[in-house]
Structure 1
Amino acid sequence: MGYGFGAFLVVVGLVLALAVTDSVNGIDLTMVGWIMAAVGAVLIVITAVTWNSGRRSRAVQTVTHPDGSQTVRENRTDNV
């Protein structure tokens, strides 16, 4: 999906919510428009969060000591 589909839903939803005055029996086009706009906005936010989480890298190092115990060290970096 991504930014494009989210923006499409926002635009079509706002057009339905704010500009369309026609009516369809049993369907509130204004409410459908607001729902589409909200889903599009949520999709844009989810896309931004998931794409930016891929920029982080993580390294895990496990050290085993002579007595058998282990130490785990984790390094995280944000690649900007």
Structure 2
Amino acid sequence: MGIGGSILLIVVGAIMTFGLDDTDVGPFNLDTIGWILQLAGLVGLALTLYFWNSRRRTVVSAAPPPPPAAGTVIPPSADEVIERRTRRY
């Protein structure tokens, strides 16, 4: 639905609930329809923001080096750097 569609539902629901004087059109009550549209817009907005927020968390880490060949001894080095990157927006 997206943020724009959710805000549109909220606005149309608010107009139907608070802006119209004649609340009954045939078998339909416009106040009830307006509240339902506002609730659907709020749920859609919350879901959109939740999924956008969860999509932005990424962690990039370097793959460990392959194990040395059999019988090879590699001395530990003080120059090794372990790098962990995180994206922050």
What's the TM-score once normalised by structure 2's chain length?
Answer: 0.64
Report the RMSD for the aligned CA atoms in angstroms: 2.2
Q: Which runs of 4+ in 1 moved over 6 A?
A: none
- 1:58 shift after superposition: 4.8
Structure 1, gaps ≥5 residues long: 62-76
Partner of 2:18: 18
Partner of 1:73: none
Structure 2, gaps ≥5 residues long: 64-85
- Per-residue CA distance 1:28-71 (angstroms, 9 max, x = gap): 1000001101110111111000011111125698xxxxxxxxxx
Question: Rg: which structure is higher?
Answer: 2
Q: How many residues were matched structurally?
A: 68
Distance 2:87 2:33 in 1: 39
Task: Select the structure that is richer in strand.
Answer: 1
Partner of 1:79: 88
Map 1:47-66; keep pairs closer than 5 Å: 47-58=48-59
Distance 2:49 2:10 in 1: 15
- Give the percent of matched residue pairs that are identical in Structure 1 and Structure 2: 34
